[in-house]
Each structure stands twice: as structure tokens, then as C-alpha cells.
Structure 1
Amino acid sequence: MHKDHLDDATLYLFNEGSEAQLYRHFGAQRVDLLTDAVRFAVWAPAAAYVSVVGTFNAWDPKRNPLQPAGVSGVHVGTVEGVPVGSLYKYHIETPSMGFSGDKADPVAFGMEIPPKTASVVTDLSYTWHDAAWLARRQSGDWRAQPMSIYEVHLGSWRKHQDQTSLSYQELADELVDYVKRTGFTHVEFMPVMEHPYYGSWGYQTTSYFAPSRRYGTPQDLMYLIDRLHQADIGVLLDWVPSHFATDDFGLGLFDGTHLYEHADPRQGIHPQWHSYVFNYGRNEVRSFLVSSAMFWVDIFHADGLRVDAVSSMLYLNFGREEGQWVPNRYGGYENLEAIAFLRQVTHVIHETFPGVLMIAEESTAWPGVSRSAQEGGLGFDLKWDMGWMHDTLDYMALDPIYRRYHHDALTFRPMYAQSERFILPLSHDEVVHQKGSLLTKMSGDTWQKFANLRLLLAYQYAVPGKKLLFMGGEFGQWREWSHDREIDWFLLGQSSHAGLWQLVQDLNHRYRTTPAWYQGDHDNEGFAWCDFADRAASVLSFFRRDLEGRSVLAVFNFTPVVRTHYRLGVPHEGLWHEVLNTDAACYGGSNQGNLGGVWAEALPWGGQAWSLALTLPPLAAVFFEPPSVERD
């Protein structure tokens, strides 16, 4: 006989909304390997009859009924002779709602390759080799370290000649080497959770505990993450608790009732994505979602979760017109249940896995996204700075002759830079849906477009905040991204594209090895203007400082005019070394510059005792380090 019931403590915590490891109790749990006995457990409180159907019982809904576990709403039972790889679903009958149908397991660890929809009995065992990485992660704090993130859509990073995608195993060879060579500290995978519509890129999720079978088994994904960790590369996963797909085999109307989603369409249907919105006020839904977040960190060793579309969770009126939304109990537009859920999930992850990051894609000025709940915040570690992205891309699209009139688009950012702990994203969202690529967004002729993109990327790396770049941007893809084809690797055979890629490698190297480039990202000591007021020349300059007071001077010329004898005040005498110049010939530039460095003159300027007379290359950034490590 096998234990058909779940322990009362688990059921209590589940119903209370505080069970964080449903994946150890629900779904298809293998309880006896000798007899291939599997315990199935599913939440379907309205159902009058629930059974498990699959390849092991000829999909007969009468063969293996599940039994209610008290008043928990959970149905559970054990079936022998269910080997790994068996397909299954839950057959659910709710006569009171006129419902009878088969549903995929909400806590399935594997799914068939879409468009097939059955759940798969799955073994999650794997021998990891990343203990050293995990130990460093637990004892460190990425918020204080350099973070340059390479955002990847696994299905279209690279393809075979027959246009099939690389598998997780194949990516473990090619992607790891490429990321290591290019110098990124992290990869961020667009959602790997199974999704029926490939063109949703994973953001229309149906399976919150199953990695996509399109690219291999769960162990294959573990192997990819393991290899990245062994190469000292962190792994962030996109996670989508803001909405879920409406496919009839999934979570929607799961037991004939609105179980996971709100019943009222003003709350339960997302008006922009035509998907279901989770009912964050329901205890069991919170247990489900918190457990999903924990699953990817616990079982797949993810180093962080980037939570998609947080704004749509926070605002009851998000994307809705007047009369299309339901106010909270105080009459406001804040989703109080979603706020409580976000605080819960960030707290549980941080408490259970120190060093793991929770990252918010939040597009409004909601206060305290990256502050702790004790400080009145949501508890995230980092937040995407969507304002920086929009302002900067709009500015770079301008003809340089007009940039002087929009100088504030760049100088405004330090006014709010310390309000949150930010990531500066140049993500997939900016290179799809007729928006063009990063390269085509830049103004000017071909040479100027490349120069502008080199300038943009150098500016991104210099501004306080962590960095994120979507695949293809590192070598200047011309075509906007499509999930149906690989990025245009052939472009690396052209010198201008290869030069841009070399610049990204050098930016990553400089960023990772020079503390002044990344320390002080989240406090006022790490940044100081040198000169922000030269709107007539469209030139910006500022210092980045490390904890020891060592500085880097970053100067940006946003016009195609070479500026000679351009004077800036500096705090040190001696030779200021030109350590990076985006106009260097090796990057595809015109090779204007300062011949390796400039001596500071005893000529006071801009409130400093010394000054430099610089040559500023066209549409370029130049970086200088002082002659000593004295404090500024």
C-alpha cells in the first residue's frame, strides 16, 4: 500500500497561502521506483469527480479516481505502473457548472512538445557540479558587483541549417563559450517555462513548473545552467506571474470555475494580452505562484528571476478605461493583493536562498520597487530603468544638429538615479514589432549609425546601474529580431560589425576589472558631474568613483564634429591615460583621439585646480584614468 494522502501540515499551508514548495507534494510524485508508483495530487475544489488519465490506463477516466483530501479542495491518489515518460492529464467533472474535461497538471514537471498538451511524468534528478558557484553566490551581493546581462531567446539565438533550434545541450557548448568570450557576467533567458504559442516567446505561459520540451529534457536545461555556472556566468530567468494563457487545457476555468483567475472580467482578463490575470487574493494561488518561483531557484539553480510586467500587477486600472476596472476596498487603483504577493515572494526567495536576485520589469514611477517591505517597498533587488531606455533611445534617434535642444533627456537621469537600484535595459522589447534594430534606430548614414551605436553602448556602460543587452545588439544587427530565425551571425564577417563586437568585449572587460565603473551604482558617491551644461556642443562628461575614491573620467561627444582643445577640469595633475576610445580604428572608428593620454595643466577649470585639453572624436566616448590612486 502507498501513502495516498498528503500530510495535514502541507495542506494547511497550501490553503493558508504560505506553502512555498508545492513541487515536493503536488503533481506527479514518484513514491516507489520499484513499482513505478506515482502519487498524483491536484487542486480542484469545485469538482465532484477527479481522476488521472494517461498512457498507463488507456486514458480511461474511470480507472484511477482520486480522492478528496479532507476539505482542502485537493484530490490525491497513487497509481502503480506509471513509468517516467508516461503521458497524463486530470479528468475533472463539475456537474454544478456543466463542466467535464481533461486538464494538464498545473504542477507538471514536463509537458509534451507543443502543439501536444499532455503532462509528462518526469524525473528531475541531476548531479550538479556548481557547488563553488553557489557558495560564492550565497556569500556575495550582486548589487555591489559588476552585472552585464546578455538577454537571450533560446530558440532563435542560433539555429541549424534546417532552421531547427539548438538544444539545451548544444547551447551548453556554443552559448557558454560565446558569453564567456564576450565578457558578460550573466545571461537572462526569456521564459523557458512551457508555452503553447512559440510566438509568445514564453510570456503566455501554461506550465509554471515545466521547462520547454522544445529544446530537450529538464536535465538538459540543468546541464546548460550547470555549464554556465562552471564558467562563472550567472543565470537569470524571466518569470511571468502577471498573466497566463487562456488555452483550454491549462489553468483557466480549471475545475469549471474561475479557480486561478478572477471571475469578474474587469479583474480576470488582461485587456492588452487577452490572457487571464491571477487572483492574487486567493491563498492557494499565492502558494502556487510562490512555489513556482522557488522551483526554478531550488531545482534549476537559477541565480535570479526577472518578474515580467509588474506594472500590470500593481495597477487595477492597467490598460483599462474608466468603468472597466474594480477599485480596491479603499476606492483606489492599487492592487493590494498583488502588492502583498510580491512582498511575499521576494521575502521567501531571499530568506531561503541568500544571494538570489529578484528583478522587476516595472515601467512606472511606483515608489520603492527595489526597497524592502520594511521600508515600504516591494522587496526587489533591482528594477529595469525604462525611463532611461526610452529617453536615451529617443535622443540617439535625433539628428545631432537637434540634440542640443534635447540635452535634458540625458542630464535628467541623475535626478532620480538613486530612487531605485536600476538595471539599464536595451532589451528585446525595443527590437521587435516594427521598432527596428538598435542599429537602425541610430541617426545618420551607415558610418554614423555605427558610431552612434558604439557611443550608446559606451554610455550605457558608464552610467550608474547594471547593464542588459539583447542578443544581436552586441554586433549591430540590421534586421529587427524575429523568433523564426537566428540572429545574423554572418555580419561578424564584416569589419564594422566585428569592430562593434570587439568594443562590447572591451567594455565588458573594462567594466568588470575597474571598480570605479560599477561601485557606487546605488549611492551618490559613485557619480559626479564634470560638465553637464555644454548643450551647445552636445557634450557630457562625468566621473565614476570606486569605494577608495579612484575615478574614471567619461566624456561623450554626441555630434559628428571633432572637437580639439576641449577643456575639462580634473582633480589630479599628471598624465591622464586614455583607456578606451570608441572611435578607435579597431572598432570601426576614424581613429581620432589623444594618443594614449593627456597631461593635466595647472589651469583651474570648472571648479577644479587642474584641467585637460582634450580631442573629442566624432560621435564617440573617451575614458580617462588619473595618474595615481589618490582620493578625489
Structure 2
Amino acid sequence: MSYADVKVPKIEALFERDGYLRSYENEIKRRYKCFSEKRTQIEKAGGLRRFCESYKEYGLHVRKDGTLVGAEWAPGAKGLYLRGEFNDWNNTSHPYKNVGFGKWELRVPPKADGSPVVKHLDKVKVVVQTQDNNFVDRNSPWAQYVLEDSSSPVYNHHIYIPEKKYQFKHSKPRKSTGLRIYEAHVGIASPEYKVATYENFRINVLPHIKKQGYNAIQLMAIMEHAYYACFGYQVTSFFAASSRYGTPCELKELIDTAHELGIVVLLDVVHSHACKNVLDGLNQFDGTNSGFFHDGGRGEHSLWDSRLFDYNQIEVLRFLMSNLYYYLDEFQFDGFRFDGVTSMFYHTHGIGHGFSGDYNEYFGMNVDTESLIYLMLANAMTHELFPGSVTIAEDVSGMPALCRPVDEGGTGFDYRLAMAIPDMWIKILKEQKDEDWNIGSIVHTLSNRRWGEGTIAYAESHDQALVGDKTLAFWLMDAEMYTNMSILSPLTPIIDRGIALHKLIRLITHSMAGEGWLNFIGNEFGHPEWLDFPRAGNNNSFHHARRQFNLIDDNLLRYQFLNNWDRALNELDEKYKYLEANPAYVSWKHEEDKVVAYERAGLLFVINFHGQKSFPDYRVGVDVAGKYKIVLNSDEAKFQGHCRVDPNVEAFTEPHGYANRRNSLLVYVPSRTALVFAKID
């Protein structure tokens, strides 16, 4: 079928950026037509904003006059009831009314004195009468507060109507370019052996993030998940901010305080799948195996052992898009990082798929149109109703136009994560000797991204901090981190090499590999050991489920030097804005010397990865003539360097071209050292 008549408003802009996509114009238009039809369906249902404010109608709510109202979508249920502390757990005394199309409504008048029948923190359950007349307890999918039962690991819905709701005092910062993201998990954000709190994060961690020069935070594991060790990726209650860290009001205060500091706050969203839990999850809410999910094999993820949403259902779109709106509006989040996008895009979920880069992979029968259309709708809503919001996609496949606007025929994200980069660094450290590093291959991986599509670069992922793997610092220094990180002990070759390469890896990734930067909590100072949540396999220990910020406060430990370097990178970008600039121009990548030179935003970066060789009078090409001065030097003492470079030295260009640049200059670049120059005259 031809879709030639379908109008995609700015499709020519898409083809101007990537001419290969013109061969797939028909498919791009087909997708846009599907998007437009769903958008029209939403508009007919009351308009986009009202559709996305459905969380104000669904679930349970106490009106100002004390009336308790509720609504649920349970198409497979024979009957629906509400029970709880308010009615002595009577199964059937408070029935919902079936109003058609799978929707059920409840209205409970207030008490004689005008007070609601439920009070703050009352426990309630939705009782589902199944088609075979069983009565089963469920949490409302729209529950906004759930608490773990003291007698079992099940989380139960509690009414959350505090006497004093939190009132935001500060407006959202508008920072959508040059993002420097601090990826954080509230529960591990303390040196103490316990689940840390929103309050701890607000008081103790936010000042550190601000001091380090980050302008964004990405919060993980906020949507409630009954199993703490799942890292937040097996969500049980989508509208409930995790109660293990504190109350919704305390999370709001955290976000408001971040805004006061000028820091945007992004939420790690898991809409790619849902936990299989029945008693406290979304699974089998209406007593059937479908409802929110596909039935059969299409409804289950074989690797994640979780349920997969049926994105074609209008009520599923209502639920998920309302979920996004809820966090943007009620909690004032500034955007999202969407987890597991690759799994959503493809019927194979990316399992066993290497993705060669052949465009036929992105436009063939393996693409799941329904999931893709949901993401287009989610991005369109986020950007239209909350201008300035940021969306980031976790996609390993390289889907073209992922980060182009929907009206161009793209998926609408602002950024994609550069997922190949952390894999590259770990592979190099695991498998190669220093002298075998392929500089050309490293530069290719760092610079290989789609033109005009924003990329968030990172040197190591949170997955690489988990038990069974190691962080970059641990791969580099391993056991010596236990014995030789004190400045009172000799600087051993392993620690010297580890600190030096940690700095170089982070600099080249930070400055070359994207339009944004991401660091996982603790990695900025080379956090020792791994991350492992309390579970049966480790005797429920918190030993590895914490971040030891105390290490950087100890002036006798070398962690302070890596922390100083991390801060210096962010300050360098804040001053020169290279993350907002065009991609770096790499003029030099020498395999034998292990030297890389490149320019970005008027800065000249020279990095020597060689373990033994230092180079005096090393000629480097530079485009703009003038006098240059060092503005960042990894060999300084405050970064655990050897002070081999005079920080006040000035370099003057010579008017003869070199390495395809119009001018050149001579620099002294010691082994395992990075120098950054800025033109001063």
C-alpha cells in the first residue's frame, strides 16, 4: 500500500539530515499515519491534557466534600468491590458500578459529620470478582502510595491524604542542552548500612552534586518495586513513588530543592515491561492474563521474566501517558530516561539481535509499530504540555530518527544513550594490554553517532557496577584499592596507572562522545568494589548497597583526586560549552604514539595514552592561529599527577598546516596525560 498522500509536516528536514531514509519514506509515512490516528482517538476522548490527567479520575480519591470516589479499568472482571480498614474488610459491602467498556466506578458518601469514610494511611484493597466467581485482592493500578506489609513482603495500597501537602516554591529550570547528568539511586546514596532516604539525598547528596558541577539528576528506582534488588526495573506500582525512601511529600521537597540549585531532575521510567507480581503488581489485575498486557507469548519477556504491555489498547495508553503526566505535573520532574526502548521497538525485543546497521533492520517486519507509536505519543505529549522537558532513550539498536521530532517522522526523543561506549571501555580493560589499545577504533566508537541526533555519553554504566562485574576503577586497580589508596602509602605502579587512565577515559568520553554526559553515583571518585543489594544470596547484607561518600572527605585517601578531576571536567564544560557545540574534529590519532588530538568549541584536546613515552615538542594541528594556554592538565598534583607540565606555559601557533589543520603548535605531553588548551590571544 502506498502512503504517498500522508502529510508528515517536516519530513524533508529528516531527509536532509539522513538521505538514506528517503528509501523508507513510505514506511515513515505509514508510522506517522498510525500516530495521527491514535492522536485523533485521544482528542475525541476529551483532548490530550484531559486524557493524560486521567490519574485524577482513576484510582481512589477523596473530594473536598468528603466523598470517596474511584474508577478502574478491569475488562475481564465480573464484579469489583472496595474493602479495607474503613469497612472492617468486608468483601462486598462497597461495590463498583459497571459503566461499560471495562470501566467501573465507585462513590462512597462521607460520614454524617462530613468526614470521608477513609483517613490518611488507611489500607485498602480492590476486590475483583473473577469470571469463575473467585474474590481476589488487588492493589489499584493507580495507587499513589503503597507500603510493605509488616507480616509479608507484599506492598499494599494506602490512602495518602496528608493534612498538609507539599507546596513547590521553585520553578523548573530550563536546561535542555549541555546536560551533565548525575545518575543516582536514592536508597544507596549513603555510607550507612541501610536504605537511605529522600531526606538524606536532599540534605547530603544534592550539595555534592551541585559542587561537582552537574546540572541534571537522573533518579532510578522511584516507581515502586516490591523487590529492592531489582534496581527498580520490576515495577509493581507505577503511580507510587517508592515508600521505602520516605513519603511523596519528601520526594517533592527533594525535587524542589534541586530546582532551587538550578538542577533539572529526570525520572528513570520503565514502560517497556512490568513485574509479574499479582498480589501487589499490575499483572492479572482483572483476574485474566490480559487486560493491560498481551495474552500468550507476546505478553511475556523471556529474559526479564516480566509482562509486556498491549500498547494498542486505548486504556493502556491512558494509563502510561497519565503516568508520565503525573510525574511531570504532581512531582515537577523535568523529563524522563526511558528504559528498555530496544525491547519495545522489536518483536524479538533485541534478544540475539546484533544490529549490523542495515536500515532494513529498522523498517522491516520485526519492528513493533504499536510500541513505537506509543513512544511517539509519549514524546509528543511530554514536549507539548511541558515545554523544555527532556526525554532520553535507552536504545542499543541505533534506530534512525529516534532523536528527531515527531513532526519530521521521528520518534521524538531529545537524546539517546551511547550504549556502545561503556561496553568498549570494559572490553578493552578486560582483554587488552595497554600497548595494544587501538586508538583509531576507540576514536571511531566515541565519535560514531547520528548527525543531528543528541547523544548522552558515559564511560561506564550502572550495570557494570553490579555484582559479577566491576567499575572502571575496580578493573584498573582491583585489590590494591584496599591497600594502596592512602597518600601515606607509596604510589604503586598499579594505582598510578589506574588513576591516570581513569582520568583519561573520562575526559575523552566527556568531551568527544556526545552532546551530554552521564555519571553513575560514586563513579566520579572511583567508588571501590561493586554494587549488590541485600538479598537471600548475600544474607541480606547492605555492605555493597551503599555509596561511601566519606572516602572523598578523607584527605589521606586518593579518591579526592578523582573527585577533583570529575569536578574539573564539568567546570570546563560549564565555561566553554563544548557539549552544546558541534562534534569534535579529530585531527590526530597515532597508533604507535597512542596520542589523540581534537578540537571542540575552540578548545584543543591532546591526550597521550602511552604508558612509557612522553613527547617533548609534539606537533599538533589546530585550525585557528593564536596564543594558547593550558586550561586543564591531568598531571597536576590536585589530580594525583606528577607535575611534569608547567601550568603557565604558553603555546604559539606556527603558520604552516599540519594534520589537515591550517596551523600547528608544539606541546610537551607526558605519558598518560591529558592537556586541554584554550586560545587566549
Normalization by structure 2: what TM-score?
0.82
Q: Separation in 2 of the partners of 1:70 and 1:260?
A: 17
| 1:616 positional shift | 1.1
Contact (CA 8 Å) 1:46, 1:73: kept in 2 or not?
no
Q: How does 1:410-489 map to 2 (within 5 A)?
A: 410-418=443-451, 420-425=453-458, 426-442=460-476, 445-463=494-512, 464-483=514-533, 484=542, 485-489=545-549
CA shift digits 1:110-135 (9 cap, x unpaired): 0013624221111373211112xx2x
In structure 2, the residue matched to 1:381 is 414
In structure 1, the residue matched to 2:604 is 553
**Secondary structure in 2 matching 1:122:** coil
Contact (CA 8 Å) 2:599, 2:622: kept in 1 or not?
no
User: Unaligned regions of 5+ residues in structure 1, if any?
Assistant: 1-8, 323-327, 546-550
Q: Are 1:332 and 2:361 an aligned pair?
A: no
CA shift digits 1:495-517 (9 cap, x unpaired): 421011011111111111212x2
Contact (CA 8 Å) 2:71, 2:103: kept in 1 or not?
no
Q: Separation in 1 of the partners of 2:292 and 2:332?
A: 27
CA shift digits 1:363-407 (9 cap, x unpaired): 11211111122222211111101123322443455322101x453
Q: Separation in 2 of the partners of 1:501 and 1:309?
A: 30
**Secondary structure in 1 matching 2:166:** coil
**Equivalent residue in structure 2 for 1:529, among 568, 586, 594:** 586
**Secondary structure in 2 matching 1:445:** helix
**Equivalent residue in structure 1 for 2:631, among 551, 574, 579:** 579
Relative to structure 1, the CA distance from residue 28 to residue 10 in structure 2 (aligned partners, 3 Å threshold; closer, same or farther) is farther
Q: Separation in 2 of the partners of 1:159 and 1:165?
A: 10
In structure 1, the residue matched to 2:285 is 254
The letter for the 2-side match of 1:514 is Y
**Equivalent residue in structure 2 for 1:316, among 347, 354, 357:** 347
Relative to structure 1, the CA distance from residue 213 to residue 496 in structure 2 (aligned partners, 3 Å threshold; closer, same or farther) is same
Contact (CA 8 Å) 2:191, 2:549: kept in 1 or not?
no
Relative to structure 1, the CA distance from residue 51 to residue 16 in structure 2 (aligned partners, 3 Å threshold; closer, same or farther) is farther
**Secondary structure in 1 matching 2:262:** coil
In structure 2, the residue matched to 1:164 is 194
The letter for the 1-side match of 2:511 is A
RMSD value, Cα: 2.5
**Equivalent residue in structure 1 for 2:382, among 324, 345, 349:** 349
In structure 2, the residue matched to 1:109 is 144
**Secondary structure in 2 matching 1:118:** strand
In structure 1, the residue matched to 2:441 is 408
In structure 2, the residue matched to 1:596 is 648
| 1:419 positional shift | 5.6
CA shift digits 1:304-347 (9 cap, x unpaired): 1100010001110125579xxxxx9x981111100110001110
In structure 2, the residue matched to 1:190 is 220
In structure 1, the residue matched to 2:551 is 491
Q: Separation in 2 of the partners of 1:166 and 1:413?
A: 35
Contact (CA 8 Å) 2:299, 2:308: kept in 1 or not?
yes
The letter for the 1-side match of 2:369 is L
The letter for the 2-side match of 1:568 is V
Q: Separation in 2 of the partners of 1:14 and 1:479?
A: 52
Relative to structure 1, the CA distance from residue 505 to residue 412 in structure 2 (aligned partners, 3 Å threshold; closer, same or farther) is closer
Contact (CA 8 Å) 2:266, 2:336: kept in 1 or not?
yes
Q: Separation in 1 of the partners of 2:76 and 2:579?
A: 53
Contact (CA 8 Å) 1:431, 1:481: kept in 2 or not?
yes
Contact (CA 8 Å) 2:76, 2:102: kept in 1 or not?
no
Relative to structure 1, the CA distance from residue 580 to residue 478 in structure 2 (aligned partners, 3 Å threshold; closer, same or farther) is same
Q: Are 1:60 and 2:90 an aligned pair?
A: yes
Q: Separation in 1 of the partners of 2:275 and 2:160?
A: 23
The letter for the 1-side match of 2:250 is D
Contact (CA 8 Å) 1:572, 1:600: kept in 2 or not?
no
| 1:575 positional shift | 2.9
Q: Separation in 2 of the partners of 1:31 and 1:601?
A: 72
The letter for the 2-side match of 1:627 is I
**Secondary structure in 1 matching 2:580:** coil
In structure 2, the residue matched to 1:119 is 157
CA shift digits 1:242-301 (9 cap, x unpaired): 111111122111112211111112x11111110111111111111100110111111000
Q: Separation in 2 of the partners of 1:407 and 1:623?
A: 20
Q: Are 1:360 and 2:393 an aligned pair?
A: yes
**Secondary structure in 2 matching 1:334:** coil
**Secondary structure in 2 matching 1:208:** strand
User: Unaligned regions of 5+ residues in structure 2, if any?
Assistant: 1-40, 111-116, 354-360, 478-492, 534-541
Q: Are 1:518 and 2:579 an aligned pair?
A: yes
Contact (CA 8 Å) 1:569, 1:610: kept in 2 or not?
yes
**Secondary structure in 2 matching 1:337:** helix
Contact (CA 8 Å) 1:571, 1:608: kept in 2 or not?
yes
Deviates more, 1:586-595 or 1:310-319: 586-595
| 1:620 positional shift | 2.2
Contact (CA 8 Å) 2:439, 2:596: kept in 1 or not?
no
| 1:471 positional shift | 1.0
**Equivalent residue in structure 1 for 2:675, among 605, 609, 622:** 622
Q: Separation in 2 of the partners of 1:193 and 1:122?
A: 16
In structure 2, the residue matched to 1:325 is none
In structure 2, the residue matched to 1:91 is 127
**Secondary structure in 2 matching 1:612:** strand
| 1:85 positional shift | 1.3
Q: Separation in 1 of the partners of 2:230 and 2:185?
A: 11
In structure 1, the residue matched to 2:232 is 202
Normalization by structure 1: what TM-score?
0.88
Contact (CA 8 Å) 1:461, 1:511: kept in 2 or not?
no
**Equivalent residue in structure 2 for 1:155, among 163, 177, 187:** 187
The letter for the 2-side match of 1:369 is L
Q: How does 1:135-150 map to 2 (within 5 A)?
A: 136-137=173-174, 142-143=176-177, 146-150=178-182
| 1:16 positional shift | 11
Contact (CA 8 Å) 1:452, 1:619: kept in 2 or not?
yes
Contact (CA 8 Å) 2:216, 2:265: kept in 1 or not?
yes
Contact (CA 8 Å) 1:305, 1:357: kept in 2 or not?
yes
Contact (CA 8 Å) 2:467, 2:532: kept in 1 or not?
no
Relative to structure 1, the CA distance from residue 614 to residue 86 in structure 2 (aligned partners, 3 Å threshold; closer, same or farther) is same
**Secondary structure in 2 matching 1:625:** strand
| 1:526 positional shift | 4.4
Q: Separation in 1 of the partners of 2:494 and 2:406?
A: 49
The letter for the 2-side match of 1:152 is A
The letter for the 2-side match of 1:90 is V
Q: Separation in 2 of the partners of 1:452 and 1:215?
A: 36
| 1:73 positional shift | 2.5
Contact (CA 8 Å) 2:403, 2:411: kept in 1 or not?
yes
| 1:93 positional shift | 0.5
Q: Are 1:501 and 2:553 an aligned pair?
A: no
Report percent identity of matched pairs: 26
The letter for the 1-side match of 2:524 is E
Q: Separation in 1 of the partners of 2:161 and 2:43?
A: 24
Deviates more, 1:377-386 or 1:432-441: 432-441
Q: Separation in 1 of the partners of 2:367 and 2:233?
A: 23
The letter for the 1-side match of 2:55 is Y
